[in-house]
Chain A
Amino acid sequence: DTAVSQTPKYLVTQMGNDKSIKCEQNLGHDTMYWYKQDSKKFLKIMFSYNNKELIINETVPNRFSPKSPDKAHLNLHINSLELGDSAVYFCASSQFGLAGGRLGNEQFFGPGTRLTVL
C-alpha cells in the first residue's frame, strides 16, 4: 500500500491553463503539506493543513489554491500556469505532536508530480 500518493506523476501543459494535482494519504495523519522543489533541489513549503484547516500559507501566488475535502486528501489547484511554476511538487503528511515527543515525528512524502509548463 502506498502511504502517500499523488496524481498525476507527470503533468505537461501550456501557459495559462488551469491544472490540479491530487494527494491522498492512508496513514491516518492529521496534517498534510505541499512543497515545491525547484531545479536546484531547493524544497519550499507552500501550504500546510491540519484537520482540513489551513495553518501555514507561505508566500505563494494566489493562483495556487489548496483544497482539503477531508483530512486524508489535500489537492492543489493552480490557475493561469506560468513558466516559473515548472517544478516538482511534493505532498507530505505527518501526525501532529509536540517537539521532543514521539508524536509529530517525520513527514512521509509522496512520489512527487513533475510539472512542466510550456
Chain B
Amino acid sequence: AQSVSQHNHHVILSEAASLELGCNYSYGGTVNLFWYVQYPGQHLQLLLKYFSGDPLVKGIKGFEAEFIKSKFSFNLRKPSVQWSDTAEYFCAVKGTGNQFYFGTGTSLTVIP
C-alpha cells in the first residue's frame, strides 16, 4: 500500500526564517505529487504540484518543492516565511487510479 510520511509534525519559526518540510512516499510507479495548505478554519488549497518534467516546481506565495525520485521525496521550501504562512501543510501523492494519499500534516507556526 502507498503511504506518505511527513516527518515534522510541528514546526515553529520566526519571521524571515527559511522553511523546509519533509515529505517521503512509498510507491514505485509514476506519481503526481502535491502540497496543500490549510489556513486556520479553512479548507485545503493547492500550493503546488508536480506531474512530470522539471523536478523543481514553484507554487504560490513563494513556495517551491523539489522532487527527488531516487529518494522518493518531495520536500517543500520557502526562503523566508511570514506570519501569514501559519497553517497546516499536507503532502499528497497520487499514483495510478483516482486515489490520493495524504501525509499526516505539519503544523507551522510563524512567530512575528
Answer yes or no: B5 CB below 8 A from chain A CBs. Answer: no
Check A109 against B98 for contact (C-beta < 8 Å): no
Chain A residues within 8 Å of B99, by CB: 45, 48, 56
Check A100 against B98 for contact (C-beta < 8 Å): no
A48 to B92, CA, bound (A): 16
Count residues of chain A with CB under 8 A from any CB of chain B: 28
A56 to B32, CA, bound (A): 19
Answer yes or no: A106 CB below 8 A from chain B CBs. Answer: yes
Answer yes or no: B34 CB below 8 A from chain A CBs. Answer: yes
Answer yes or no: B112 CB below 8 A from chain A CBs. Answer: no
Answer yes or no: B38 CB below 8 A from chain A CBs. Answer: yes
Answer yes or no: B31 CB below 8 A from chain A CBs. Answer: yes
A28 to B43, CA, bound (A): 20
Which among B34, B38, B52, B104 is the interface contact of A101 at CB below 8 angstroms?
A: B52
Residue of B nearest to A111 (CB): B43
A92 to B98, CA, bound (A): 12
Chain A residues within 8 Å of B92, by CB: 107
Check B98 against A43 for contact (C-beta < 8 Å): no
Binding site for B on A (CB under 8 A): 31, 33, 41-43, 45, 48, 50, 55-56, 90, 92, 94, 96, 98-102, 104-112
The 8 residue pairs across chains A and B that have the minimum distance between CB atoms: A100-B30, A99-B30, A109-B44, A109-B43, A43-B102, A106-B46, A41-B105, A31-B98
